[in-house]
């Protein structure tokens, strides 16, 4: 059966010629509806009669949400731009359209792209205006030789409910990595209300991640704009502050967050993301594939990250929560293998040697090895909170700072500093 396709290229001078050529020749494509605008296209997609949409970059009110809705409705998307219009191609890609062709491509090529989009064959991303071509002009930092250009690493800092210390670890790792010479972006993506700005003594009216997500949805976010939205806390540390109010979570749509991470990889060698705890999916909402999901931003970050840290507390209640959270994560994202970092380790809440006992418990109940231990160090964290500064600034020689420095070196792939950092268990 021929592929049923919607077009939304109204107004483009080449529209009727293209639609005619697609329909006429034997390309295995039938245009089932010529949509006049985005609303028309979304309504058509909801009917379930089409498998793909061909749209032009000039389509008014086209944004990331519309593309997400099409994809959620099971409609694959192919974009067309005026030949040579690399800006429009880049914009479409940001909106989540991975296949973009020049409008003068012949009908056979467009039909092939539509079919590939439906079957999910990997897009080459190089048809028109590959955004990576623009990198040197933007003065993006040099990448180390061991990873491809524009692919900074992303570390997600996640963990169960109960404030195990995600923010403390995220801020500490980002600050220490920057001090070790790695250009770093600290991104607050906690959809239950971000506190990184407050912890670092920054004004929380800063536009931050919500503005970056807005620009991503509008298709206008690039490396330079992302850099402008972030605070330059030190020469190598940038901070993109979080949602000032927890009820603004719908602003962090998964597709927008994915685009922000993409640009973050181009901006910095290392991006450290402070994530919310929850990855559960609302069962009622899961029937409505286009409804916004609060935890979609978190799952997107965990899915895209190169490394996911699961920060655990070190007492029996916290460990139990970690075991449950790891179980949930396995259900929602089976391919993600988090590295467990046990924080607030101290003698008292567990009998005997705490590291040994905790490692044994997590191995028995979660089948997980512990990647590192961070000591309880209230004196240091209180000093940092009181001053709105990092541990390196106010508690340079504290045990927690030393351990975080070691963890940061490991995550950033740079030589560990002279003093030993987070202790590893084999």
Ligand X SMILES: Nc1ncnc2c1ncn2[C@@H]1O[C@H](COP(=O)(O)OP(=O)(O)OP(=O)(O)O)[C@@H](O)[C@H]1O
Q: Quote the CA–CA distance of 276 and 192 in Å, as a whole number.
A: 6
- The two structure tokens encoding residue 229: 């939205």
* Residue 416 binds ligand X (CB under 6 A): no
Selection from Mg ion, ligand X, none that 374 binds (CB < 5 to 8 A by kind) is ligand X
Q: How far is the CB of 280 from ligand X (least distance, A)?
A: 15
Q: Which residue's CB comes closest to Mg ion?
A: 167
Q: Does 173 bind ligand X (CB under 6 A)?
A: no
- Using CB under 6 A, which of the segments 53-61, 79-87, 101-109, 370-378 binds ligand X? 370-378
- Polymer length of the chain: 426
Whose Cβ is closer to ligand X: residue 304's or residue 322's? 322
Looking at 17-25, 64-72, 278-286, 373-381, which segment touches ligand X (CB under 6 A)? Answer: 373-381
Nearest CA among 273, 275, 293, 274 for reference residue 283: 293
Classify residue 364 as exposed, middle or buried by CB count within 10 Å of its CB (0-12, 13-18, 19+): exposed
What, of Mg ion, ligand X, none, does residue 296 touch, CB below 5 to 8 Å by kind?
Answer: none
Taking the complex as a whole, the smallest distance from the CB of residue 37 to ligand X amounts, in Å, to 42
The residue (of 127 and 274) whose beta carbon lies closer to Mg ion is 274
Distance of alpha carbon 211 from alpha carbon 410, whole angstroms = 31
Give the β-pairing of 99-102 and 76-81: parallel
**Smallest distance, Mg ion to C-beta of residue 241, A:** 13
Using CB distances below 5 to 8 A depending on partner kind, what does residue 381 bind out of Mg ion, ligand X, none? ligand X
Q: Is 109 in the site for ligand X (CB under 6 A)?
A: no
* Number of residues this chain uses to bind ligand X (CB under 6 A): 18
The answer to whether 300 contacts ligand X (rule: CB under 6 A) is: no
Q: Is 172 in the site for ligand X (CB under 6 A)?
A: no
Contact between 390 and ligand X per CB under 6 A = no
The SS3 of residue 384 is helix
Q: Which does 378 bind (CB under 5 to 8 A by kind): Mg ion, ligand X, none?
A: ligand X
Sheet architecture: strand order including 270-275: 231-234, 237-240, 184-189, 270-275, 153-158, 307-312, 339-345, 370-375
**Among ligand X, Mg ion, none, what does residue 385 contact (CB within 5–8 Å per kind)?**
ligand X
Q: Give the x-and-dash track for 138-167 against ligand X (CB under 6 A).
A: ---------------------x---xxxxx
CB of 78 to ligand X, least distance (A): 41
- What are the tokens at 64? 């990331």
The CA distances from residue 359 to 49, 293, 312, 403, in Å, are 54, 34, 12, 17
For every residue of 313-329, DSSP letters joined together read -SSHHHHHHHHHHHHHH
Burial status of residue 86 (CB atoms within 10 A of its CB: 0-12, 13-18, 19 or more): middle
DSSP category for residue 2: P
Interface residues with ligand X (CB under 6 A)?
159, 163-168, 190, 277, 343-344, 374, 376-378, 381, 385, 400
């Amino acid at each position: 059966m021929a592929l049923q396709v919607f077009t939304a290229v109204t107004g483009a001078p080449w529209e009727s010629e293209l639609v005619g050529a697609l329909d006429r020749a034997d390309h295995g494509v039938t245009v089932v509806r010529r949509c006049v605008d985005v609303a028309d296209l979304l309504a058509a997609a909801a009917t379930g009669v089409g498998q793909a949409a061909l749209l032009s970059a000039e389509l008014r009110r086209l944004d990331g949400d519309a593309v997400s809705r099409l994809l959620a409705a099971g409609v694959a998307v192919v974009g067309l731009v005026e030949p040579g219009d690399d800006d429009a191609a880049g914009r479409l890609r940001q909106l989540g359209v991975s296949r973009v062709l020049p409008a003068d491509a012949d009908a056979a090529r467009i039909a092939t792209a539509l079919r590939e989009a439906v079957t999910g064959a990997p897009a080459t991303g190089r048809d028109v205006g590959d955004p990576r071509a623009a990198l040197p002009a933007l003065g993006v930092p040099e990448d180390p030789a061991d990873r491809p250009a524009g692919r900074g690493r992303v570390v997600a800092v996640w963990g169960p409910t109960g404030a195990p210390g995600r923010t403390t670890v995220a801020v500490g790792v980002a600050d220490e990595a920057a001090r070790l010479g790695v250009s770093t972006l600290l991104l607050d993506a906690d959809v239950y209300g971000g506190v990184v700005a407050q912890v670092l003594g920054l004004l929380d009216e800063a536009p931050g991640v919500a503005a970056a997500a807005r620009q991503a949805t509008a298709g206008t976010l690039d490396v330079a704009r992302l850099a402008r939205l972030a605070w330059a806390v030190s020469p190598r540390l940038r901070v993109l502050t979080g949602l000032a109010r927890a009820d603004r979570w719908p602003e962090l749509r998964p597709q927008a967050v994915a685009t922000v991470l993409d640009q973050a990889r181009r901006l910095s060698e290392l991006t450290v993301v402070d994530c919310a705890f929850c990855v559960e999916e609302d069962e009622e909402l899961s029937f409505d594939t286009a409804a916004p999901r609060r935890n979609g931003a978190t799952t997107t970050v965990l899915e895209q990250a190169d490394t996911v840290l699961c920060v655990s507390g070190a007492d029996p209640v916290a460990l139990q929560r970690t075991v449950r959270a790891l179980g949930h994560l396995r259900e929602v994202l089976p391919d993600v293998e988090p590295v467990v970092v046990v924080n607030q380790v101290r003698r008292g809440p567990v009998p005997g040697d705490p590291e040994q006992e905790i490692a044994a418990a997590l191995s028995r109940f979660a089948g997980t090895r512990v990647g590192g231990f961070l000591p309880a160090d209230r004196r240091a964290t209180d000093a940092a909170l009181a001053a709105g500064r990092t541990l390196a600034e106010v508690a340079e020689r504290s045990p927690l700072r030393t351990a975080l420095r070691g963890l940061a070196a490991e995550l950033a792939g740079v030589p560990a500093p002279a003093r030993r950092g987070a202790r590893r268990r084999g």
